[in-house]
Amino acid sequence: MNIEPELCQVDDALDIIVGKWKPIILLHLMKNGTMRFNELKRSIPKITQKMLTKHLRELEEEDIIQRVVFPQVPPKVEYSITEYGRSLEKILVEMHEWGTRHRLHKMEKVEKR
Amino acid sequence: MNIEPELCQVDDALDIIVGKWKPIILLHLMKNGTMRFNELKRSIPKITQKMLTKHLRELEEEDIIQRVVFPQVPPKVEYSITEYGRSLEKILVEMHEWGTRHRLHKMEKVEKR
DNA sequence: CGGCATCCCTTTTGATACTG
DNA sequence: CAGTATCAAAAGGGATGCCG
């Protein structure tokens, strides 16, 4: 550990991926490539339109995803991970793996009781 | 990306490290080894006692840190990272490095205007 | 020294209705 | 289809006082 806590920029990374639905949105886009708004909505049944819109806007603002509007009726909007956004993939995968191990860790702890 | 979004356990990992002061608490303990309550408090000037206590309890509950009480007057309580907790170090370092690069990314974006 | 209890404010998220 | 707008609920965090 050679990070000076005072100069910690973990929070800068957390700011991007924290949000109730952000990880799952990112995983869907990373897996499927390009997706339309309602396609994402259907893939995440419990999310509200408001939160999906909000999170997508925030991820776009940080250059993690790209938003392409096709000017037609009815509207069509496609979302995809930017090349820059791909740099988050490794961290998400590692967090997923750590999370999986942590679940097991907690289950073992409970069994011992 | 071979994670099925529906089985995503990124949130399990985020639950541990998300909290206004958790990353910096972890970095201090990872850097310094064992620290007393007030030592941590002084190292993180703006944190309140309430939040320090709360975050420490949550990290202890997840086996990330260890709390040792010395029954004496005045009281003495020492905190340290558990061996299990060390498994978080890699993720924190990578998030710090990503956060550092992201700051630069945003600065370049602003300069182009 | 290392807390806990209480009150209060802010931020995040949800429910619902409406629209070009 | 892809959003906005508004209101309400819940979660997170801060300020302060008290205690063994």
pLDDT tens profile A5-14:
999 999 999 9
Q: Determine, for residues B23 and A10 on separate chains, whether the beta-carbon distance falls below 8 Å.
A: yes
Chain B residue nearest residue A12, CA to CA: B99
The Å distance, CA of A80 to C1' of D5, is 27
- Alpha-carbon distance of A72 to A103, in angstroms, equals 46
Q: How far is A75 from chain B (nearest CA, A)?
A: 26
Residues 6+ apart with CB under 8 A from A105: B63, B84
- Alpha-carbon distance of A111 to A90, in angstroms, equals 32
Work out if B76's Cβ lies within 7 angstroms of strand D.
Answer: no
Q: Based on the number of CB atoms within 10 Å of its own CB, is A61 exposed (0-12), middle (13-18) or buried (19 or more)?
A: exposed
Rounded to two decimals, the pTM is: 0.95
- Alpha-carbon distance of B64 to B20, in angstroms, equals 17
Each residue's pLDDT tens digit in chain B (113 positions)? Answer: 789 999 999 999 999 999 999 999 999 999 999 999 999 999 999 999 999 999 999 999 999 999 999 999 999 999 999 999 999 999 999 999 999 999 999 998 888 76
pLDDT tens profile A54-112:
999 999 999 999 999 999 999 999 999 999 999 999 999 999 999 999 999 999 887 87
